[in-house]
Each structure stands twice: as C-alpha cells, then as structure tokens.
Chain A
Amino acid sequence: MSFLIPLLIAVPLCSAVANYLVNANSARWIAAISGFIQLVLSILIWKVYADFRAAGETAQFLLTAHYSWFPLWNINLDLGLDGISVTMLIMTSLVVFSASLLSWNVRNDAKLFFSLLNFLSAGAYGFFSSLDLFAMFFFLELAVVPKFLLIGIWGSGEKIASAMKLVLMLMGGSALLLTGLFVVYYGAGGNFSLTELASNRLGREIQLVAFPLLFIGFGVFTALFPFHTWVPDGHSSAPTAGSMFLAGISMKLGAYGCLRVATYLLPDAAVAYSPYVIILSSIAIVYGALATLMQTDLKYMNAYSSISHCGFILLGIGMQTKASILGSVMQMVSHGLMTALFFGAIGLIYQRTHTRKMEEMGGLLKSIPFLSAVFVIAGLCSLGLPGFSGFVSEMTIFVGSWEHSDAFHRVATILAAASIVVTAIYILSAIGKVIFGPIRQASHISLEPASFVEKLGTGVLVVAILFMGLVPFWFTNLISEDARLIMNQFTLLMNP
C-alpha cells in the first residue's frame, strides 16, 4: 500500500502538466476530475490507514515509502502518515476539489490557472506526508511561488502589491525556517529524519536556539501575531480559489509545521517558550476578532477572522495538553473547511453582485437563496455553533487549556473564549447586512442562481463540516493516539 502517498502527490502533478497542454475548456474538466480522484484517493488512504490500525498496527507512521534523494547529505524522500496527517490530506483534497469546481468560470488563461492550483495541492500533500525535514521544506516552497502568480494574474484590487507582500513575508518566514532546519540538522549530526530526531532528542541549548526560528518561520504561514499582516491583503486580492487555498490549506501548512516539527521535535524548548506562544496566540485571537469587527469588505472580514481562528490552533499547541493538541488539530481541519467554504461563498456572491462591500448589498436571501444559505452556514460554523465543526474543535481547545489551573493559563483561556462573543457579533452583522434586510440595489433583485457545479462545490464542504460537527468521535479516535505520542515527548521530559 506504500504506493498510495506517491500516487496522491503524482496525480495533481500530472494534471498540472496536462492542464497546461490542453485547451481551456478541457483544463477545467481535467482539474475537476483530478480533484475528484484526489478526494477519492485520500478517503481511500483514510480507509486503508484505519484498517491497519484496526488490525493492531502500532507503528507511529504507516504507509511509509522511502526514496533516497541526496545520499551525500543524508536527505531522503521519506513519506508516511499518522492520523494527524491523514486528516490533513482529506481536508486538503476536499478544499482542492471544491476550489477547482468553484473556479469553473475562470477566464483568461484558465490552463495556467488550473495548472498552478494543482501544483499547490501537490505541494500540500507532499508537505503533510513528509517524514524528512528537508523534503518538507521543499514541498512547502513548492506551494509558495504559485501563490504569487495566482494573486498577481487573477487577483483583484492592488493585486501586485499584495502578492509581493505575501510572497516576501512567506519567504522571510522560510528563511528563518531554513536557518532553523540547519541548526537542527547540524545539531543532530547531519540528520533530517523526523522519526530519528524524535527518538534521539537534541540537546536543550540547540533546541532553545532552533525553536524560535522554526516556530516563527512556520508561524508566519499561519498568521502568528505580529507576522500576520500578509493575511488580509493577500486573501482579499486573491481569486476565489486562491483565497480558499491560502486560508484553507496554506495556513494549515504552518500550523502543522509548528506542531509536527517545532513542538514535537523540540519539546524542551516548546515548554520553555510556551508562555510566549500562549501570549502571542491569545493576542491574535482577541485582537484579530476585534479588528474583524471594523471590516466593511467581506473578504477582509473573513481574512481577519482567519487570524483569530488560527490563533486558536496556536493556542492549543502552546497549551500542551493532550486535549488542547487534539483540539488544535481539529481546528486546523475545521478552519480549513469552513474558511474555504466562506471564501467560496463570498467569491460566488461577488461574481454576481460585483461588490464585496457589505453596505452595498442586502436582502440576498431573496435573490440568491442557495448561496445565501451557504453563506449563513459558513458564518454559523465560524461563530462556533454546535452541529458544525468549529464548535467541537474550539471546545476541545478550551477544555484542554482549562487543565492548567494557574491564573495565567486560565486568563488566556477566558480571553480566547470571550472572543467567540465578538465572533458572533461580526458574523451576525455581516449576515444581517448582506443576506437579510431590504435589497439595496436594483441590480440585485434578480441574480443568476447557483449552477450545479457551484452547488456541488459548496455542498461538498457543507457536508464535511456537518459530518465533523455531528460525529466528532470518528475524528478524535483517528488522531487521539498521535496526540498522545506528542504528549509523550513532554512526559519524558518531566521524568528524565
């Protein structure tokens, strides 16, 4: 079964090439079919993985595949999955499938567009399944450059400036990351292997140097305060699929790295730095939510709210209890799906109303009921309504954080919890202005209803969000053992 992961990475790569070779109309079909194949493959991987576990397989990573890459420097293409990465793959394939469908109407050079989109997804799959730090870095970078083009060519507003800002900041993060990786590599005597680094722990001094480099480096991707400023401009200028990918998947690359690399490999430093992580993420949560309150553009609203929601991920990682880490992984998946759905809905509405300013819209429930319902569902998921994925993940983080009984952790948890009130305010204000109320513009009285492709693209994500929100135990069963292994790193440290 070890061919499954390489296959999953190969499918989008092949279709990236194929997209470019055919004409525009075929390109979108190829992208959609390839998206579908990726979705099926990732679900198949989930099934195979679960069967292995059910059969009593206890190895930490399954479905492993090993290819020597640069033997001289001991760099390998090491692939393998645990429950956490399986969920990430499924989340990625869902977002990619939906994003390909919602880009059905992309004009001007659709071939290149879909080709780039597939490059991005290949990078994401590779990143989530790499067990070698260098390969991980390689895949991460693979997913950066296409973003520049996606925003620069198909974006809106000040697209070039936003694209520059985004890529420069992400590159800056990558530079820190690379430095950190080399510190780890040389500290371990020339080793990039995740599993070996986990079992032969680095010395405390090296950890203390490497952790900030790696955590901030990955943190830039996931909007760690104060390195989040690429998020609002980047997301807002990007085309719909670009925003879906950026917020849905790209921000999770960073979060996954913070957990899998920085925290898992450097537990001593993670403990030492955890107060800073908690402070920064609490600031991101509250401050992001407050800043969202003042936004008037729908895309900016969702971009700022992503800062707040991704703060929850980092808070969960910083709290370092089993439940908080579990919640953090759930929040990665949940936010990935939910924000992609939100950006998708906003994009489809924008296509019809030709405006993203909230005050210029109103009463859309009357003219486009389906898309309005999708918008409301995404909003309700964002404000953490039970039944949707956001609720279970946020609550798991709160309960996990509450296990620390000292005032510092408690205050951070209460602040984070208080943000859900602010979230309710901005979401309901947006719904009140855009979906409800009287129709403000004559041209909005009759708008084109959602097409079948659009219904399918958004429906897939709605079903996924509901599934995760209604039967979270499938999900937690899948990842709780992996969260325990991460926690083990900390217990070892407490009992040397």
Chain B
Amino acid sequence: MFTPATEAILIPLIPFLLFGIIGLAGRRLPEIFSAFLGIGGILASLLFSLHLSVSYFSEPVQGAFVLKEFFSFPWLNFSENLKISIGLVADPISMLMVVVICSVSLMVQWFSLTYMKGEERFQMYYAFLSLFTGSMLGLVLSSNIFQMYIFWELVGVSSFLLIGFYFQKPSAVAASKKAFIVTRFADLGFLIGILLLSYETQTMEFKGILDYFKSGNFNPEVSGIWMSHSLAAWALVLIFVGAAGKSAMFPLHIWLPDAMEGPTPVSALIHAATMVVAGVFLVGRLFPVYSLFEGVMQLVTWIGVLSSILAAIIAISQTDIKRVLAYSTLSQIGYMMFALGVAGKAGAEAGFTASFFHLFTHAFFKSLLFLAAGAIIHAVHSNEVENMGGLRKQMPIVHWLFLIGCLAISGVPPFSGFFSKEEILLNAWKSQPLVYGFALIGSGLTAFYMFRLFFLVFYNKSHSDVHGHESMGLNFPMLLLAIPAVFAGFVPFSSYVTSTGLPEETHLHLMFSIAPVGIGLLGIGLAYLFYFKQNSLPEQWASKLSGLYKLSRGKFYFDELWRAVYQIGLIRALATPAAWIDKNLVDGGLRMGAEKTLRLGDRVKLIQNGKLQDYVLYFLMGILALILLTLLMIQS
C-alpha cells in the first residue's frame, strides 16, 4: 500500500503533525480527544515502523544489512559540498530504535490517559509528547549528521518542556533549565565536532562520512595534528562529549536525576527508554569511524565504566524512588557505552551487538519500572520510599510487575536483561578483563539496589494509613511492557544487529554466566537480609562505611562542583566583570568623552571674544600654518 520511503516519512511526520494540531487547538479540543489523537497517531507510526523494519530485515543486500537511504533533499546549502540535506535512512540500529521508540511511546501515552487525568494542561502534555516522539524518530532516521543535530536539539527542548510541565513548581522549573543547559553545553562539543569532522570529510552525510573512512582516504598527517592526536580523533572526542551529555555520562550526568521532576510517564519515555540512549545511538551510528581510533575508544570505555559504577554506588543510598531508578538508568547506559568502547578491539566486535541488545531490553524493563513507580506514586502521593512499604497487599499486580523489572535488570535468567548483560560482560572479558571486573561489581550493585528498592516499597514496614489502589488504566500498558521485559532476551539479536551488518550466530555461554548470575543473586540475597524486614543492619553498615555512605548520599558532590563552576567560573569570573566593564569603562569612557567635548566647547567659546586684535592674530597664525603645510607638501 505504501512504499518504504513513504512509510519512513510518515513515521516521524505523524507525531509532528499531531503536535501541531493538538498544540494549536489547545483547550478547544476536548481532553479525551487530544489524547486519542496522540495515541492513534503513535499507533499508526508503530505499525508503519514494524512493517518497515520487517521488510528491511527480510531483504539483506548480499547477505548484509546495509545503510539504505530512502530519500534526501538539500535543505540548507552552505557551499558546494557542505549542506544539510533532510533525508531518512534505514539500517539495523535505526530500525531497532523506531520500533522501541514507538512501542514505548504508545504504552506511555496510554498510561498517561489515566495518570494525567484532570491535569490543567492535559492537551499540551499530549502535544509535547508527540513533539518528543516525532523528534526522537527523526533523530534515529537522520541521514545527515547535521540533521541529527537538529533533532538532537529538538528532543532536548521537548525534554525541557516536559520536565518543566508542572511549571508552577520552582524545583521543576530549575530542573528543566538545568537539563537543557547541561546538554546544550555538551552539544557545543557535538557542534564543533561536526564542523571538524565535516571539514575533514567534506560531507555531512553519514554515508559519505563512513565511506570516507572506509576507503582509507584518511591520513592523519593531512588532516592535521593537535596535541599529538589527529583532528579527526578530536572531532570524535567532541562528538562523544555531545553523546555523553545526552546520555548523562559522568561528569555530565547531573541533569538526569533532577529531570525526575517531570511527570513520571515522561521519565519512563524520555529519561529511561529513548532520549537518554541517543548518545549510545550516536556513537553506534559512527561506530566504524570510532573503531579506527584506539584512544577515543578507550575514552568511551572508561567514561562508560565510571558512570556505571559511580551511579550504582549512588543509587544504593537514595530514598526517592524515581531517583534510584534514574541512577540505575545512568548505570545501565554506562554498560551500553563501554560495550561499544570494548567493541573496538578485535575479537570483541560483538560488543556492538551487545550494547544495542541491552539498549533494546533496557528500554522495556526500565520503562516498566518507571511506570510501576508512577502507579505507586499515583497511589501514595509521594516519591519517598519512607512513605511506602508493605504495598504488595494494596497493589499486588504492580508488585509482580515491579518484580519482573527488578529481575530483568539484575540479570536473572531467563529475563531479558540476563541475555543482554551476558553479552556485554562476555565482550568486556574478551577485550579488557579490568573492564569486566568493574562490570561484574556493577552487576552485584545493581541487583542490590534494585531489590533494596523493591523490598522497601513492597515489604518492610507497612503503612496502614496508605490506601493504595490499582487501576486497570494504569496496569494494562504495564502488562504489555512486561511481556518484552520477560521475553525480549530470546530475540536472536546478533542475526540482525552487528557492527558489520553481517548476521551472526547467537551463542549462549552457560559456563561464563555462572559468575555474573552468582553475583547478582548475592546482591539480591544481601538486599533481602537488609531490607526485607525492618532491622538495624542498614544503619549499622552505614555507620561502618560512613565515608563511602556519605559520598553515596552526597552523590559524590558533583552538583556542588557544577554549581561552583557556574557561580564562580561563569557568573563571578566572566559575566559580572563584563557587565561592570560595559557600564563603567566602555559607557563610562563615552560619557567622559562627551563631558570633555562640552568642556572643550566652553573653552573654544572663549576664543570668540569679539576682540579684533585677537582675530587678526588667529588669521596670521592660520596663514602661517597654511604656508608651512604647502612647503611640506612640495618637499614631499
């Protein structure tokens, strides 16, 4: 019925159009109608993206899945070679992403129907969700790196609008601002990286960039060297800065925990499943280029490792249910990131597959966890685990759903997270055993903090005063998400997504799994001891490890660090002097000039005193001066 190109256009276009319609109509549109428009639109996009990816994966070119361009037209010509063209491409990772984005977005919009009921700006909420979904779909389908930057900024602004949705709450306003500014700062790196890279390759098309490096035209000597690395390597580092900002890698992660101020379904969609993995997607998109630069790959790896471990440590001591989940998101994206990093080494190329496999499974189980958290918050009217506890009785279904999410993220077989995490660990082992060691510790920590949360919310002390309740409107979309959270691991992922595009066999290494599963179970067991029933163990250990505990509670003081950078570095060292100089020196100098002119005028006035003798004197002096001038001119 539709050609693939039409389908590819319609996938992002439908949400964009709906954003326009719902946004312009505003309150004139009945609430339920705007929600149905949003949901119907995303359902259509989902069907198109399913159909498109099925047809893409059923037609490999010479046995490989290659980058296929549907169409492209010049949008903004800078010069003969450099232009932004708007186009859409299909490749394994973009096909994977469109399906993930559409399906999570559909569930989230469905969930929001009940969750956001009665909100004053209900219509705008759906408009913004559509804007976000459209931008995110555009991002993953972009054929041009600058086009990707455009959508990259658009998802940033939709995230801004949605985090600040409760706009009268000062903390939400501050969080939305912080999220935008921190990512903007990172995007500056992305932008300069684009400029550097496109100057090198003389094209902004992804296809052209990949071909350029594949063809072996690249010569670091010609490209230019700065601080003993080629400019192309610097370009990739800068692009990675942008990716790290969006994906909230340390030390640019500080915006993500605060972003939890937004409505919970938004956190599930944007800050767990889709937008925050855009950084992973960007590195994956340029993976063939990244893998040429050993040093850059090391950077990617270690930033990923650092993020996964630090975030896991912080998550242990947080008491806000959404923040625990936010830090766990950080940690899991760290896994995806270093999986890409280790894939640069020969023999560990499957790390690429593992990274996107984890992205895929994580999207489902993490959005499930967030929506479950939303359902809990909806019932308890608080984010603090303190006010929860013993909720399994009031919310039995949510309890089971949350448990599924926890088991999946902890890597317990046969839940989806087990398969993807195994892949990551396996390739980390093949590439760098040290990374593997950290990743293993991270797995244990993950299991511990997730089950800590689970026990604190559903067991432990019970609150008889909380009248939790469940509603089918909330549970049903979660149930649908639980299906992939359980079973997504059985997808033969490596026959679709590989770094080369060539399908590969999937192997399961049962012997290898013993250590990670063992450490995961250990973490769960410890969490059981500590938190299943109210006891004094947590306090005892907190005081025993008080140094680490304080660091964890204080989130390693990154917020304070950034606040200092902002206050001292920007406001006090730069902006205040600039405003002062402008007022006192530049403008002051001008005023002084004006006053001097006035005074000079006063003095000149005295010359015209009406005395004839003086006038004659001036006249003679003038003639003398003219004569002198003429003589000088003749001489020269």
Which A residues form the contact surface with B (CB < 8 A)?
168-169, 226, 228-229, 287, 290-291, 293-295, 321-323, 326, 363, 365-366, 380, 385-387, 391-392, 395-396, 398-400, 402-403, 405, 413-414, 417-418, 420-422, 424-425, 428-429, 432, 435-439, 472-473, 476, 480
Q: Known contacts A290-B574, A385-B157, A386-B154; is A473 also within 8 Å of B188 by CB?
A: no
Residue B5 interfacial (CB < 8 Å): no
- Are B79 and A323 in contact (CB-based, < 8 A)? yes
Contact assessment for A428 and B224 in the assembled complex, using a CB-CB cutoff below 8 Å: no
CA distance A417 to B194 in the complex (A): 12
Cα distance A65–B437 in the bound complex, in angstroms: 80
9 tightest A-B CB contacts, nearest first: A290-B578, A294-B579, A386-B150, A436-B167, A293-B575, A229-B587, A323-B78, A436-B173, A399-B78
B199 & A392 in contact (Cβ 8 Å cutoff): no
> Which one, B174-182, B345-353, B509-517, is touching chain A?
B174-182
Nearest A residue to B594 by beta-carbon distance? A168
Count of interface residues, chain B, beta-carbon cutoff 8 Å: 49
B185: nearest residue on chain A (CB-CB)? A421
What residues of A have a CB within 8 angstroms of the CB of B77 in the complex? 473, 476, 480
- Cβ contact within 8 Å between B78 and A287: no
- Nearest residue (CB) in A for B183 is A424
- Shortest Cβ distance from A423 into chain B, in angstroms? 9
Question: Least Cβ distance of B142 to chain A in Å?
Answer: 12
The 0/1 profile, CB within 8 Å of A marked 1, for residues 157-179 of chain B is 10010001001101001101100
CB-defined contacts of B570 to chain A, threshold 8 Å: 293, 422, 425
- Whether B624 sits at the interface, judged by CB under 8 Å, is no
Assess whether B168 is in contact with A429, with CB atoms less than 8 Å apart.
no
Evaluate contact between B76 and A392: CB separation under 8 angstroms: yes
- Which of chain B's residues have a CB closer than 8 A to the CB of A169? 590
Query: In the complex, which residues of chain B have a beta carbon less than 8 angstroms from the beta carbon of A398?
Result: 191, 195
CB atoms of B76 and A476 under 8 A apart: yes
Instruction: Tell whether B192 is near chain A: CB-to-CB under 8 Å.
Output: yes
B579–A432 CB distance below 8 A: no
- Show 17 residue pairs from A and B whose CB-CB distance is below 8 angstroms, ordered by the A residue: A168-B594, A287-B582, A295-B579, A365-B167, A385-B154, A391-B150, A392-B76, A395-B146, A398-B191, A417-B188, A420-B184, A428-B160, A428-B181, A432-B176, A439-B168, A473-B74, A473-B77
Beyond A287-B582, A294-B575, A417-B188, whether A473 also contacts B177 by CB under 8 A is no
Of A168, A228, A287, A391, chain B has the most CB atoms within 10 Å of the CB of A287
Our pick among A168, A287, A385, A399 for the contact of B195 (Cβ within 8 Å) is A399
Q: How far is the CA of A295 from the CA of B576 in the complex (A)?
A: 10
Which B residues are in CB contact (< 8 Å) with A432?
A: 164, 173-174, 176-177
Alpha-carbon separation in the docked complex, A437 to B176 (Å): 12
Residue in B closest to A400 when the chains form the complex, CB atoms: B78
Q: Which of B147-161 contact A (CB under 8 A)?
A: 149-151, 153-154, 157, 160
B565 CB–A CB distance under 8 Å: no
Q: Give the contacting residue for B164; candidates A168, A391, A405, A436; CB below 8 A.
A: A436
Contact yes or no, B184 A424, CB < 8 A: yes
CA distance A346 to B179 in the complex (A): 26
Complex Cα distance, B190 from A417, in Å, reads 11
> Do the beta carbons of A473 and B76 come within 8 Å of each other?
yes
Residues from chain B with a CB closer than 8 A to the CB of A363 are 167-168
Residue of A nearest to B574 (CB): A290
Binding site for A on B (CB under 8 A): 74-79, 82, 84, 146, 149-151, 153-154, 157, 160, 164, 167-168, 170, 173-174, 176-177, 180-181, 184-185, 188, 191-192, 195, 198-199, 224, 570-571, 574-576, 578-579, 581-582, 586-587, 589-590, 594
Q: Which residue of B lies closest to A429 (CB)?
A: B177
C-alpha spacing A429/B184, complex, angstroms: 14
Further pairs besides A293-B575, A385-B153, A387-B154: 19, Cβ < 8 Å:
A168-B594, A169-B590, A226-B586, A228-B586, A294-B571, A366-B168, A386-B149, A403-B199, A405-B199, A417-B191, A418-B188, A424-B180, A424-B184, A432-B173, A436-B176, A437-B173, A438-B168, A472-B76, A476-B77
B367 → chain A, closest Cβ, in Å? Answer: 27
Q: A168-B594, A398-B191, A418-B188 are in contact. Are A291 and B575 (CB under 8 A)?
A: yes
Contact B76 A396 (CB under 8 A): yes
How far apart are the CA atoms of A255 and B479 in the complex, in Å?
61
Bound CA span A300–B78, Å = 34
Inside 8 A of B576's CB, which chain A residues have their CB? Answer: 294
Q: With a 10 A CB-CB cut-off, give which of B153, B195, B574, B587 has the most chain A CB atoms.
A: B195
Q: Is the CB of B586 within 8 A of A229?
A: yes
B390, chain A: closest CB distance, angstroms:
35
Pair B188/A420 contact, Cβ less than 8 Å? yes
B579–A437 CB distance below 8 A = no
Which of B78, B173, B581: most chain A CB closer than 10 A? B78
Specify which chain B residues have a CB less than 8 angstroms from the CB of A413 in the assembled complex.
195
Q: How far is the CA of A429 from the CA of B178 in the complex (A)?
A: 10
Most chain A CB inside 10 Å of its own CB: which residue of B153, B192, B575: B575
Residues of A within 8 A of B590 (CB): 169, 229
User: Which residues of chain A are within 8 angstroms of B176 by Cβ–Cβ distance?
Assistant: 428, 432, 436
Instruction: Please indicate the chain A residues that have their CB under 8 angstroms from the CB of B198 in the complex.
Output: 399
Q: A425 to chain B: which residues have CB within 8 Å?
A: 181, 570
CA distance A439 to B84 in the complex (A): 43
Q: Which of B168, B181, B582 is within 8 Å of A229, CB to CB?
A: B582
Counting chain A CB atoms within 10 Å of each CB, which of B74, B164, B173, B180 scores highest? B173
- CB pair A290–B154 under 8 Å, yes or no, is no
A322, B79: Cβ atoms under 8 Å?
yes
Residues of A within 8 A of B167 (CB): 363, 365, 435-437
**Shortest Cβ gap from B554 to chain A (Å):** 25
Decide: A402 and B199 in contact? CB cutoff 8 A.
yes
Instruction: Establish whether residues B177 and A405, one from each chain, have CB atoms under 8 Å apart when the complex forms.
Output: no
Please pick, from B188, B586, B589, the residue contacting A421 in the complex, using a CB distance under 8 A.
B188
Contact in complex: A380, B168 (CB < 8 Å): no
CB atoms of B78 and A421 under 8 A apart: no
Q: Which of the residues A323, A418, A421 comes within 8 Å of B181, measured between beta carbons?
A: A421
**CB atoms of A396 and B78 under 8 A apart:** yes
**Alpha-carbon separation in the docked complex, A425 to B191 (Å):** 18
Residue of A nearest to B27 (CB): A369
A338 to chain B, nearest CB (A): 16
A414 to B575, CA, bound (A): 18
Tell me if B224 and A386 are in contact (CB < 8 A). Answer: no
* One of A396, A405, A437 near B168 (C-beta < 8 A): A437
Pick the contact of B170: A168, A326, A435, A437 (CB < 8 A). A437
Complex Cα gap A366–B77 (Å): 41
Contact A386 B76 (CB under 8 A): no
- Looking at A168, A322, A428, A429, which has the most chain B CB atoms within 10 Å of its CB? A428
In the bound complex, CA of A380 to CA of B195 (Å): 23
What residues on A are CB-neighbors of B571 within 8 Å? 293-294
Which partner residue on chain B sits nearest A439 by CB separation? B168
A436 to B174: give the CA distance in the assembly, Å.
10
Chain A hits for B594, CB < 8 A: 168
Minimum Cβ distance to chain A for residue B262 (Å): 13
Contacts of B146 in A (CB 8 A): 395
CB-CB < 8 A to A386: which residues of B?
Answer: 149-151, 153-154
Q: A385-B153, A400-B78 are in contact. Are A438 and B575 (CB under 8 A)?
A: no
Closest-by-CB residue of B relative to A323 is B78
Instruction: Chain B residues near A323: list those with CB within 8 A.
Output: 78-79, 82
How many Å lie between the Cα of A402 and that of B84 in the bound state? Answer: 15
Q: B582 near A291 (CB under 8 angstroms)? A: yes
- Give the shortest distance, in Å, between A461 (CB) and chain B (any CB): 17
Closest to B593 in A: A172
Given contacts A424-B184, A438-B170, contact A290 B579 (CB under 8 A): yes
Chain A residues with CB under 8 Å of B150's CB are 386-387, 391
When the two chains form their complex, are residues A399 and B164 in contact, meaning their CB atoms are under 8 A apart?
no
Which residues from A are CB-within-8-Å of B75?
A: 472-473
In the bound complex, how far is the Cα of B582 from the Cα of A144, in angstroms? 24
Cα distance, A169 to B590, chains bound together (Å): 10
Chain B positions within 8 Å of A414 at CB level: 192
Complex formed: what's the CA distance from A442 to B28 in Å? 28
- Min distance, Cβ A292 to any Cβ of chain B, angstroms: 8
